[in-house]
Amino acid sequence: MLILAGQGNPGARYAGNRHNIGFMAVDAIARRWGFGPEKSKFQGLIREGDIPTPDGDIRALILKPQTFYNDSGQAVAQAMKFYKLAPKDVVLFYDEIDLAPGRFRMKTGGGAAGNNGVRSVTAHITAEFRRARLGVGHPGHKDRVQGHVLSDFHKVDRDWLAALITAVADAAPLLAAGEDERYQTEVLRLAPAEKSDPKQGGL
Catalytic residue among 19, 124, 138, 148: 19
CB 131 within 8 A of CB 94: yes
Q: Which residues contact 30 (CB under 8 A, 6 or more apart)?
A: 38, 47, 49, 62
* In contact, 9 and 68? CB cutoff 8 Å: yes
Catalytic residue flag (residue 138): no
Cα distances from 199 to residues 117, 152, 192, in angstroms, run 21, 17, 19
Helices 116-125 and 73-82, axial angle in degrees (round to 10) = 30
Phi, psi of 115 (to 5 degrees): -85, 110
H or E element at residue 26: helix 21-32
Distance separating alpha carbons of residues 123 and 117, to the nearest angstrom: 10
Residues annotated catalytic, as ranges: 19
